[in-house]
A and B are shown apart, each in its own frame.
Chain A
Amino acid sequence: NAGVTQTPKFQVLKTGQSMTLQCAQDMNHNSMYWYRQDPGMGLRLIYYSASEGTTDKGEVPNGYNVSRLNKREFSLRLESAAPSQTSVYFCASSETGGEGTNEKLFFGSGTQLSVL
């Protein structure tokens, strides 16, 4: 049982290049999330998808787009990468999500992205 799988694990981009981070979960979870983690800071939510067919902005959505391709897959796209987007990116999923739920998130192993 793989859980949450995200690719790639490492990526180096030049300013202005684009790329897509892929994420898939095999736990039949409804909700999926993209976070970024910077040194000395907690995780910050970029976008989330409460269910298949819906996506919503999180705390730091600028410069990113997402696609909930189906129930399993949730991708994150950087259209024109900037040095400020250098970070570790985590994809996560949860069974239900939302207010009042036991918000147990399962995380992928992360993507270390450097933008030069």
Chain B
Amino acid sequence: GQSLEQPSEVTAVEGAIVQINCTYQTSGFYGLSWYQQHDGGAPTFLSYNGLDGLEETGRFSSFLSRSDSYGYLLLQELQMKDSASYFCAVNSNYQLIWGAGTKLIIKP
């Protein structure tokens, strides 16, 4: 079957750095995406990795290793507004397969 695994919850301190991991097992793979969703809101796109390596967008970076079927989202200089759920999603055979999401809790 197809599956994505990510931690259900991560806690970090304001100003710190946090990494959210995602491992996947899918029948097809064309890229790994990350989305942010605040409580009661809609998912919003953060980043996409189609090739191995690191992609950086401001305070957020995303990494992919296709050989390890693994990726991560790195959030730096955490702010309280970063408190949200973060989803990894694999582009597989014309569909996005989503992980269950990681709830990021930020403490002052």
B48 contacts A by Cβ under 8 Å: yes
Counting chain A residues whose Cβ lies within 8 A of the other chain, the interface size class is 20 to 34
- Selected contact of A107 from candidates B4, B33, B44, CB within 8 Å: B44
Q: Contact string, A93-113, partner B, CB cutoff 8 A, digits 1/0?
A: 000011111111111111000
Whether B100 lies near A99 (C-beta < 8 A) is no
Complex alpha-carbon distance, A63 and B98, angstroms: 21
Most buried by B among A42, A58, A97: A42
Q: Is the CB of A42 within 8 A of B98?
A: yes
A19 vs chain B, min Cβ distance (A):
20
**Chain B's nearest CB lies how many Å from the CB of A23?**
12
Instruction: Give the residue among B48, B50, B98 with the most A Cβ atoms within 10 A.
Output: B98
Instruction: Find A99's partner among B4, B48, B93 (CB 8 Å cutoff).
Output: B93
Q: How many residues of B are in contact with the other chain, CB < 8 A?
A: 26
Beta-carbon contact of B50 and A41 below 8 Å: no
One of A44-52, A65-73, A74-82 at the interface: A44-52
Among A41, A50, A102, A108, chain B packs the most CB atoms within 10 A around the CB of A102
Closest CB in chain A relative to B66 CB, distance in Å: 13
A42-B4, A103-B33 provided; 6 other pairs, C-beta below 8 A? A43-B96, A44-B98, A90-B42, A101-B91, A102-B48, A105-B43
What are 19 contact pairs spanning A and B, CB under 8 A? A41-B100, A41-B101, A43-B96, A44-B98, A45-B95, A48-B95, A50-B94, A90-B42, A90-B43, A99-B93, A100-B30, A100-B31, A100-B50, A101-B30, A103-B33, A103-B91, A104-B45, A105-B45, A109-B42
